[in-house]
């Protein structure tokens, strides 16, 4: 079974993350496949709008931990960086229909969407700090620019979950809808967009993103370099060991070990 499903209806391409048993946790192969799909859709004149959702009870729980530990990101052209590049260069409307868990990249990837509809069940979280990591997908720039530094610090430095209504208040989602209406709402917007002049849609999207694109790209480069370094740090090793052993991490020991050396 494919871990990413695609279905085209007229000029609308639906892309579905399809690992429901794993809450659609992202593997390196999925990052690459999703980047390929977006790159192809960008070149396909038959596709005017992309709708992005997740199968089962979640959008995505973020990185698959086992895959992440086997394939830690490298600076430069990692699978995650490939998807980042595909997202920032995608100049057609991208609509996300989000429900259940939207963790880590499941939140930060959404900053590249033009419409984000969240089901009432959605729980967002950017728990990078809890894993000894840093944010990704340019979110160290895009989140503060949208919600302000103080609110961004609360979300990212504490890494606590927040619900769909809070995300709407912060301007991180377009609208909160009942879960049962989520996909229909996203498709309805896609159908309206598909009727618009395609060239003008693409031009407007480029203009809307113009002022923030350079800063977002720089943030991505800085994040990717720092993320790769942090993924190999003693703090991250302790965080992931604790996760796999189902215990609380003890970062005081990491600090003492670092000081002793």
Domain positions in the chain are 4-198
Give me the pLDDT at residue 255, please: 63
Give me the pLDDT at residue 86, please: 97
Give me the pLDDT at residue 75, please: 75
Reported as type and span, the H/E element at residue 175 is strand 175-177
Q: Which CATH superfamily is domain 4-198 in?
A: 2-enoyl-CoA Hydratase; Chain A, domain 1 (3.90.226.10)
Give the separation between CA 163 and CA 68, rounded to whole angstroms. 26
Give the separation between CA 22 and CA 100, rounded to whole angstroms. 13
Contacting residues for 214 by C-beta, under 8 A, at least 6 apart: none
Q: Choose among 176, 5, 172, 166: nearest CA to 99.
A: 176
Give me the pLDDT at residue 252, please: 86
Tell whether the torsion through CA atoms of 30, 32, 33 and 34 is positive or negative. positive
pLDDT tens for the chain, 261 residues long, are 799 999 999 999 999 999 999 999 999 999 999 999 999 999 999 999 999 999 999 999 999 999 998 888 877 778 999 999 999 999 999 999 999 999 999 999 999 999 999 999 999 999 999 999 999 999 999 999 999 999 999 999 999 999 999 999 999 999 999 999 999 999 999 999 999 999 999 999 999 999 899 999 999 999 999 999 999 999 999 999 998 898 999 998 786 444 444
Give me the pLDDT at residue 56, please: 97
Q: Choose among 219, 205, 103: nearest CA to 160.
A: 103
Contacting residues for 87 by C-beta, under 8 A, at least 6 apart: 38, 94, 109, 112, 137
User: How many residues are listed for the chain in this entry?
Assistant: 261
Give me the pLDDT at residue 258, please: 45
């Amino acid at each position: 079974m494919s871990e990413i499903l695609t279905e085209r209806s007229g000029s609308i391409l639906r892309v579905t993350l399809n690992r429901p048993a794993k809450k659609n946790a992202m593997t390196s192969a999925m990052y690459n496949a999703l980047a390929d799909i977006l790159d192809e859709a960008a070149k396909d004149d038959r596709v005017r709008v992309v709708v992005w959702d997740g199968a089962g009870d979640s959008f995505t729980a973020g990185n698959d931990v086992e895959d992440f530990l086997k394939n830690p990101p490298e600076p430069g052209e990692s699978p995650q960086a490939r998807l980042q590049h595909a997202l920032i260069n995608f100049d057609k409307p991208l609509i996300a229909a989000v429900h259940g868990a939207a963790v880590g990249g499941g939140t930060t990837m959404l900053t590249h969407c033009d419409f984000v509809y969240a089901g009432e069940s959605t729980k967002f979280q950017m728990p990078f700090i809890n894993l000894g990591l840093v944010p990704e997908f340019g979110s160290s720039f895009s989140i503060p620019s949208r919600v302000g530094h103080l609110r961004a610090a609360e979300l990212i430095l504490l890494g606590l979950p927040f619900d769909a209504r809070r995300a709407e208040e912060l301007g991180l989602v377009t609208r909160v809808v009942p879960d049962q209406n989520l996909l229909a709402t996203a498709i309805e917007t896609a159908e309206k967009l598909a009727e618009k002049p395609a060239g003008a849609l693409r031009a407007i999207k480029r203009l809307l993103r113009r002022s923030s694109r350079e800063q977002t790209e720089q943030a991505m480069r800085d994040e990717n370099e720092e993320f790769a370094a942090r993924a190999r740090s003693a703090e991250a090793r302790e965080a992931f060991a604790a996760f796999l052993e189902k215990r609380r991490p003890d970062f005081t020991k990491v600090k003492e070990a670092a000081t002793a050396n």
